[in-house]
Amino acid sequence: MAITASMVKELRDSTGAGMMDAKKALTETNGDMEAAVDWLRTKGLAKAAKKSGRTAAEGLVAVVVEGNKGVAVEVNSETDFVGKNAEFQEMVSGIAKTAVNAADVDALLAADMGGKTVAETLTDKIATIGENMAVRRMASLEGETVVSYVHNAATAGMGKIGVLVAMNGGDEAIGKQIAMHIAAVNPAALSEAELDASVVEKEKQVQMDIAREFGKPEQVIEKMIVGRMKKFVAELTLLNQQFVVNPDLTVEEAAKEAGATITGFVRLEVGEGIEVEKEDFAAEVAKAAQG
């Protein structure tokens, strides 16, 4: 029996399954809609898809270093509780190891992980654990030496914040200290050259407007802005920040003293930038009572 687009749409609408899963279900059941629904339920795909609307803003960031390459991967769940689940942690660990050889998230989701793709593994876990999950983002880093650090670790190699630092020279000790600094301070870029030019220009305009509000003449404003912008750039860029371990030195100076040159960094924090819809306790109770 020919599987039409309208049949696939009908099955998707009734189960919430993905398009390819719906098409496969219909193919496997020779177009029998009821049997296709059962097929999806058996595979856990209908249940998984129905949860895809929930916000997954918790979870873990895992970091893995192999040779001169490191990778950080954020895998989200709906609740912090799942982040402490050993089954979830094992999956995240496997995904991070697989990510070492993946170019981006799409390639990672399509990559093999123990006989199934990462996407299929994720779908299976959504069905068994009962929460929406997602591989949200990944970032890789290469260098002469790559050091990793996890802040607020849930278990080895994964936690709420994952950091990678690439260096020429230096050793594990200074790399770890710099990674801890990055976790705490969250620099926007390595150096001024890597800062978003629009961010710098916006701040410059704000500072100029502030100075004008105080009635400063333009020639004075120009001189004032130079100092203010220097401070602004120093606060945002890793190399120019005061080192948390020794505030008398910048991070660049501390690295130099240890014989290291920092060439790059990655910092991923769970849920960063995700807007979570808040609901007051009374509303939650009322919703539960209605359910």
Question: What pLDDT does residue 199 have?
Answer: 87
Question: What pLDDT does residue 51 have?
Answer: 58
Which residues of the chain register pLDDT less than 70?
A: 46-56, 275-291
Question: What pLDDT does residue 206 have?
Answer: 86
CB count, 10 Å around CB of 274?
12
Per the CB < 8 A criterion, the answer to whether 237 and 189 are in contact is yes
Q: Which residue matches tokens 């120019």? A: 240
Question: What pLDDT does residue 276 have?
Answer: 58
Question: What pLDDT does residue 275 have?
Answer: 61
| Strand ranges inside the chain, DSSP E | 58-66, 69-77, 112-113, 116-117, 133-142, 145-155, 158-169, 260-269
Question: What pLDDT does residue 10 have?
Answer: 85
CB count, 10 Å around CB of 182?
24
> What does the alpha-carbon distance between residue 289 and residue 291 come to, in Å, rounded to a whole number?
5
Q: Which residue matches tokens 């895992």? A: 62
Per the CB < 8 A criterion, the answer to whether 70 and 139 are in contact is no
**pLDDT tens per residue, range 199-242:** 899 888 888 888 888 888 888 888 888 888 999 999 999 999 99
> What does the alpha-carbon distance between residue 202 and residue 182 come to, in Å, rounded to a whole number?
24
Question: What pLDDT does residue 279 have?
Answer: 47
